[in-house]
């Protein structure tokens, strides 16, 4: 696909992982260069230091706005967010000039050890309130808005639905929401509910960013969806994206998260599919680098 097809409007961004910068179909800078003109922004996770963030900006992002995807600050952790890590990563956000920061709401560690794979929280009122408290504490020490992300759910537990939980979180913290449509699908699969119903149950009026990525349903257990980022985007997730874009009035960015197992052709095909969907919906992003930032503690 050429840039002319979309009139050079960047409608979506890439969601990238700095740890895998050499393992994508092309190296991260080459990948970003290949899609230059078609990208509205970048989102990057696992940037460990300001120096790495500088390299990322110089080699990959250039003038594009950047979302800083945090790696395990974890406001849902039993002891609350890791403010030491969060404060350390503020230097990364500074270099990125982050439009906002985000993170999946879940449990990331057992004691001091990061889990090999994180866990969605118990969907309980007491946990939602704890997350609200954590987001407030993060707000006190950062100049960047934190946007909680709906987590991937291979198993769901608790007496609240995903929608009830995130209404309580976003209302309590009075914050925006990052809607990952593949994660919405994973929850719907896990609880055997219609994915359209799950989507409609969420506070879509608070959504400012949507994530979309590939994955597949576990062939040995059909209520387990694996959000790999390394497979094609399933048709149900594309349906969810279409409906979410139409029903999220404050949506500012759509991020296509890519994994290392994705081939160049699959990546291009899904990029084009998402780009086409957004063009058909006549939706354009409104994401830009912040011109200035509030003083710490007042954001």
Partner 1 sequence: MRTLSPGVTQRLLLRDDREARTELLLRLLYSKSSADLVADALKDPSGKVCETTLSVLATVDFHALSVERAARLRNLKRHLQRTCPPLWECLDKETITPLVDAYADSDAFWQSAGRTLFENFCLFAHEAVAERSRLLADVFHLFGLVSRFSAPELIAPPEDVCACTTGIPGEGMDLTKAAFSPWDDGGLVPPDVPGALQAESFPSAWRLVDDRGRLPRSLEPDALGEPGEYQIVVAAFPGRKVSAAALPL
Burial per residue of 155-166, b for 16 or more beta-carbon CB atoms within 10 angstroms, e otherwise? ebebebbbbbbb
The smaller minimum CB distance to partner 1, of residues 6 and 227, is found at 227
With respect to partner 1, which residue has the nearer C-beta, 155 or 281? 155
Of residues 97 and 120, the one with the C-beta less far from partner 1? 120
DSSP-derived secondary structure for 112-159: TEEEEEEEPPP--HHHHHHHHHHHHHHHHH-SS-EEEEPPP-SS--SS
Residue 281 interacts with partner 1 (CB under 8 A): yes or no: no
Q: How far is the CB of 88 from partner 1 (least distance, A)?
A: 9
Give the start-end residues of each E strand in the chain. Answer: 12-17, 39-45, 66-69, 101-104, 107-110, 113-119, 146-149, 177-180, 207-212, 216-217, 225-226, 253-257
CB 64 to partner 1: min, Å: 19
On whether the CB atoms of residues 42 and 84 are closer than 8 A, the answer is no
Residue 8 binds to partner 1 (criterion: CB under 8 A): no
Residue in 220, 213, 293 with CA at minimum distance from that of residue 258: 213
- In the complex, what is the shortest distance from the CB of residue 263 to partner 1, in angstroms, rounded to a whole number? 14
Site for partner 1 contains 71 (CB under 8 A): yes
**Which of 2, 113, 265, 295: binder of partner 1 (CB under 8 A)?**
113
Is 41 a binding residue for partner 1 by CB under 8 A? The answer is no
**Residue given tokens 């982050």 in the structure block:** 98
Residues that bind partner 1 (CB under 8 A): 15, 17, 19-20, 45-46, 48, 69, 71-72, 78, 85, 104, 106-108, 110-119, 121-122, 124, 126-127, 130, 149, 151-152, 154-159, 180, 183, 186, 190, 211, 213, 215, 218, 220-221, 223-224, 226-230, 257, 259-261
């Amino acid at each position: 696909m050429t840039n002319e097809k979309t009139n050079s409007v960047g409608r979506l961004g890439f969601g990238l992982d700095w740890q895998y910068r050499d393992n994508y179909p092309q190296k991260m800078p080459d990948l970003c260069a290949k899609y230059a003109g078609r990208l509205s922004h970048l989102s990057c996770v696992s940037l460990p230091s300001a120096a790495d963030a500088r390299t990322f900006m110089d080699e990959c992002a250039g003038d594009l706005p950047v979302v800083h995807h945090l790696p395990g600050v974890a406001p849902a952790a039993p002891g609350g967010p890791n403010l030491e890590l969060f404060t350390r990563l503020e230097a990364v956000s500074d270099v990125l000039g982050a439009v906002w920061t985000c993170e999946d709401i879940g449990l990331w560690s057992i004691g001091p050890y990061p889990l090999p794979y994180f866990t969605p929280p118990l969907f309980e009122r007491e946990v939602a309130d704890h997350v609200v408290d954590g987001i407030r504490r993060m707000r006190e020490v950062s100049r960047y808005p934190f946007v909680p992300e709906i987590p991937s759910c291979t198993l769901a537990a608790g007496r609240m639905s995903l929608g009830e939980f995130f209404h309580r979180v976003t209302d309590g913290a009075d914050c925006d929401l990052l809607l990952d449509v593949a994660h919405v699908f994973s929850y719907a699969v896990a609880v055997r509910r219609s994915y359209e119903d799950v989507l409609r149950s969420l506070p879509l009026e608070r959504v400012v960013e949507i994530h979309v990525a590939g994955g597949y349903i576990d062939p040995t257990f059909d209520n387990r969806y694996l959000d790999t980022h390394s497979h094609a985007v399933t048709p149900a997730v594309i349906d969810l994206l279409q409906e979410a874009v139409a029903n999220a009035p404050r949506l500012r960015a759509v991020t296509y998260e890519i994994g290392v197992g994705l081939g160049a052709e699959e990546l291009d095909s899904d990029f084009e599919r998402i780009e086409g969907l957004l063009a058909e919906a006549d939706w354009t992003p409104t994401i830009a680098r912040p011109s200035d930032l509030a003083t710490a503690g007042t954001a």
